[in-house]
């Protein structure tokens, strides 16, 4: 990844070095540091959009999984934070659209940590055949990844993300304490994150 002469802050330059180490060397510490730097800011942006801590935590992990999966596509013409927050907000938009949550005006913008504003752009809800095929392919890929989890986590992830049950509904379904369900789903997300990050484990 080549960085041009555009002036960036010291923080942005540090991000570029971490991205380079992650993409070119597969440095797990670089991935972890990027997540440590941005997890709280991303969570706060997501929480402003969905206004539910549990959903915000889920969506934050999903945003990092998507960002790390596409890190090789990152364009150093822009700050990493702007790119990451765009992924996170787009992920939230998909979630909001899917769940018909009315949390904000479609014309509103969210200010991120570097001072930039991200406009919320809702696209046509109707998917064309190509988009539907891509969506189905992504679901199949996700199902394959989930199949690599231990059985107890597979069941939880399936109920949460494929059957779209709430935490409370999962607890009832499994006759388990709500706290246990949340803790195990948190662990399942961590395992999924690790598998997405380390693609070799999926082969």
d(CA 88, CA 105): 18
Task: Write the burial class of residue 5 (CB in 10 Å: 0-12 exposed, 13-18 middle, 19+ buried).
Answer: exposed
Residue 18: its pLDDT value, please? 92
The answer on 33 and 105 residing in a single domain is: yes
d(CA 61, CA 67): 10
CA angle 141, 143, 145 (to 5 degrees): 70
The answer on 170 and 137 residing in a single domain is: yes
> Domain span at residue 46?
10-119
Q: Give the burial string for 82-118 (b: 16+ CB within 10 Å, else e).
A: ebbbbbbbbbbbebbeeeeeeeeeeeeebebbeeeeb
The answer on 100 and 141 residing in a single domain is: no
d(CA 46, CA 37): 16
* 4 part of a folded domain: no
The answer on 112 and 166 residing in a single domain is: no
Half-sphere exposure of 20 (CA within 13 A, CB side): 10
Residue 110's DSSP bridge partners are 118
pLDDT digits (tens, 9 = 90+) for 53-109: 888 888 998 899 889 988 988 988 888 988 999 899 888 888 887 776 444 333 344
Residue 161: its pLDDT value, please? 75
CATH number at residue 55: 1.10.1740.10
* 177 part of a folded domain: yes
Residue 132: its pLDDT value, please? 60
The answer on 76 and 40 residing in a single domain is: yes
The answer for residues whose C-beta is within 8 angstroms of residue 169's C-beta and 6 or more apart is 159
For the chain, percent of residues with pLDDT exceeding 70: 69
Measured between its terminal Cα atoms, the distance across the chain in Å is: 26
Residue 125: its pLDDT value, please? 46
* 40 part of a folded domain: yes
pLDDT digits (tens, 9 = 90+) for 107-150: 344 444 445 554 444 344 455 566 566 555 656 666 677 777 78
The answer on 55 and 28 residing in a single domain is: yes
* 2 part of a folded domain: no
How does DSSP assign 113-141, residue by residue?
A: TTS-EEE-----SPPPHHHHHHHHHHHHH
Q: Which of 37 and 136 is assigned the larger pLDDT? A: 37
The answer on 178 and 146 residing in a single domain is: yes
Strand intervals (E) in the chain: 109-111, 117-119
* Residue that is last in its domain, among 88, 119, 150: 119
d(CA 22, CA 30): 6
Mapping DSSP to helix (H, G, I), strand (E, B) and coil, where does residue 111 land?
Answer: strand
């Amino acid at each position: 990844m080549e960085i041009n002469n555009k002036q960036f802050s010291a923080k942005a330059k540090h991000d570029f070095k971490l991205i380079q180490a992650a993409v070119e060397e597969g440095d797990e510490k670089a991935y972890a540091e990027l997540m440590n730097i941005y997890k709280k800011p991303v969570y706060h942006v997501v929480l402003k959009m969905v206004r539910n801590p549990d959903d915000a935590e889920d969506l934050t992990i999903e945003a990092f999984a998507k960002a790390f999966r596409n890190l090789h596509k990152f364009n150093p013409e822009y700050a990493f934070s702007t790119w990451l927050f765009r992924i996170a907000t787009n992920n939230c938009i998909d979630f909001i659209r899917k769940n018909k949550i009315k949390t904000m005006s479609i014309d509103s913008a969210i200010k991120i940590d570097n001072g930039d504003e991200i406009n919320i752009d809702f696209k046509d809800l109707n998917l064309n055949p190509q988009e539907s095929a891509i969506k189905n392919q992504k679901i199949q890929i996700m199902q394959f990844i989930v199949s690599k989890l231990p059985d107890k986590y597979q069941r939880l992830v399936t109920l949460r993300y494929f059957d779209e049950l709430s935490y409370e509904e999962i607890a009832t379904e499994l006759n388990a304490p709500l706290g246990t369900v949340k803790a195990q789903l948190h662990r399942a997300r961590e395992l999924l994150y690790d598998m997405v990050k380390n693609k070799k484990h999926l082969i």
